[in-house]
């Protein structure tokens, strides 16, 4: 196979691992694998050059030297398209992706009947496996596309099991609404609230309808006609296009100028439908999972998580204020 692009540069690590320290040898082998290094031959490892990858290899080379081994870091270009193809083939992750797809298929068989905490633990473990392959897939092929589709399908399947009635994105305009028309109302969503629903309920109570009351529905069809439904198909407020319900509520009630809410929205979006990673997301999800183990019902869950969201909002607001003050001219 001939590549019709510029020839790549490669970082090469030529090493001899310490012979009398089996623990150190194992640690270095694992580090080489985690960084996605390909082995040209025994003691010679290869990575496509980028400054960050080369810096990581330099740190590893220093650690090998400090442990009694030797390591030399070199950089070299491919000399021909044939050599480029040969080197790139060393980084083919098709087998890794196929193994992941097989693991997803097996896991799918065990989803029904598992507790929600076990399902979330399963999702986290498989997401870590998937992301570890993607992180070292320097030359994605069709196998990467197949794996991404399998992963998204698996996540959707688990979401369906954990949250029956999860809304499908609607294609409609988001109308600007007046807050005074939505005071003292009854709001309804699916019971066993999770990220988007608990954050939306907090947003409603904190910024839209402080005196509103909430109903937790056994199914969307149980929503009373006079209640304002949210986060289910056919609800007054639900997913629209790429936006989750929290973001739709923000847009509907002109709350998008608040930088702290925008930070929360990015977190809710990432946890609910995926997308760009948000540093706070993992911690928030862990707190929710712990709260689910501790509290008895959705009213208690909303109360518990409202304190967390209040604190996060205050933190994001302080960060935004500090950044704005720092950008002002003297």
How many angstroms separate the CA atoms of 232 and 229, rounded? 7
pLDDT digits (tens, 9 = 90+) for 188-204: 999 989 999 999 999 99
Which distant-in-sequence residues (6+ apart) come within 8 Å of 104 by Cβ?
126, 150, 151, 154
Which distant-in-sequence residues (6+ apart) come within 8 Å of 127 by Cβ?
151
What confidence score (pLDDT) does residue 228 get?
97
DSSP, collapsed to helix, strand or coil, labels residue 6 as coil
Instruction: Please tell me what DSSP assigns to residue 32.
Output: H
Instruction: Please tell me what DSSP assigns to residue 179.
Output: G
Is-contact 301 198, C-beta < 8 A?
Answer: yes
In the chain, which residues fall in CATH 3.30.70.240?
9-89
Q: Does domain 9-89 have CATH number 3.10.20.30?
A: no
Is-contact 95 36, C-beta < 8 A?
Answer: no
Is-contact 187 209, C-beta < 8 A?
Answer: yes
Structure tokens at 63: 């650690």
CB 176: neighbour CB atoms within 10 A? 9
Strand partners, 10: 48, 76
The number of CA neighbours under 13 Å toward the Cβ of 207 is 22
What confidence score (pLDDT) does residue 4 get?
43
What confidence score (pLDDT) does residue 114 get?
81
Is-contact 186 160, C-beta < 8 A?
Answer: no
What confidence score (pLDDT) does residue 329 get?
54
281-292 in b/e burial notation, b at 16+ Cβ within 10 A?
A: beebbeebeebb
How many angstroms separate the CA atoms of 191 and 69, rounded? 59
What confidence score (pLDDT) does residue 240 get?
95
pLDDT beneath 70: ranges in the chain: 1-5, 163-165, 327-330
The number of CA neighbours under 13 Å toward the Cβ of 135 is 12
Long-range contacts of 222-227 (CB under 8 A, 24+ apart): 223/188, 224/186, 224/188, 226/186, 227/185, 227/186, 227/187, 227/188
Phi-psi region of 108 (alpha: psi -120 to 50; beta: other; left: phi over 0): alpha
Structure tokens at 310: 């209040």
């Amino acid at each position: 196979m001939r590549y019709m692009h510029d020839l790549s540069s490669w970082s090469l690590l030529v090493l001899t691992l310490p012979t009398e320290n089996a623990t150190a040898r194992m640690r270095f082998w694992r580090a080489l694998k985690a960084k996605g290094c390909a082995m040209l031959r025994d003691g010679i490892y290869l990575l496509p050059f980028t400054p960050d990858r080369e810096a990581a290899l330099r740190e590893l080379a220093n650690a090998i030297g400090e442990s009694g081994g030797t390591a030399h870091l070199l950089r070299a270009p491919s000399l021909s398209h044939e050599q480029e193809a040969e080197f790139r083939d060393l980084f083919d992750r098709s087998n890794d992706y196929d193994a992941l797809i097989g693991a997803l298929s097996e896991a799918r068989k065990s989803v029904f009947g598992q507790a929600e905490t076990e399902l979330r633990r399963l999702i986290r473990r498989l997401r870590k496996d998937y992301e570890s392959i993607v992180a070292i897939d320097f030359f994605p092929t069709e196998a990467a596309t197949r794996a991404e589709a399998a992963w998204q399908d698996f996540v959707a399947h688990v979401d369906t099991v954990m949250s029956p009635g999860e809304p499908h994105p609607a294609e409609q305009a988001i109308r600007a609404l007046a807050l005074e028309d939505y005071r003292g109302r009854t709001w309804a969503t699916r019971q066993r609230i999770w990220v988007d629903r608990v954050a939306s309920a907090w947003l409603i109570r904190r910024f839209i309808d402080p005196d509103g009351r909430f109903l937790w529905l056994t199914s969307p069809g149980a929503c009373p006609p006079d209640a304002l439904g949210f986060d289910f198909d056919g609800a007054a407020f639900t997913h629209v296009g790429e936006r989750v319900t929290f973001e739709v509520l923000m847009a509907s009630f002109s709350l998008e100028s608040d930088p702290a809410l925008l930070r929360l929205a990015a977190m809710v979006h990432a946890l609910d439908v995926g997308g760009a990673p948000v540093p706070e997301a993992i911690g928030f999800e862990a707190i929710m999972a712990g709260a689910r183990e501790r509290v008895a019902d959705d009213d208690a869950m909303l109360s518990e998580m409202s304190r967390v969201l209040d604190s996060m909002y205050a933190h994001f607001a302080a960060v935004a204020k500090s950044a704005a003050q720092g950008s002002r001219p003297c």
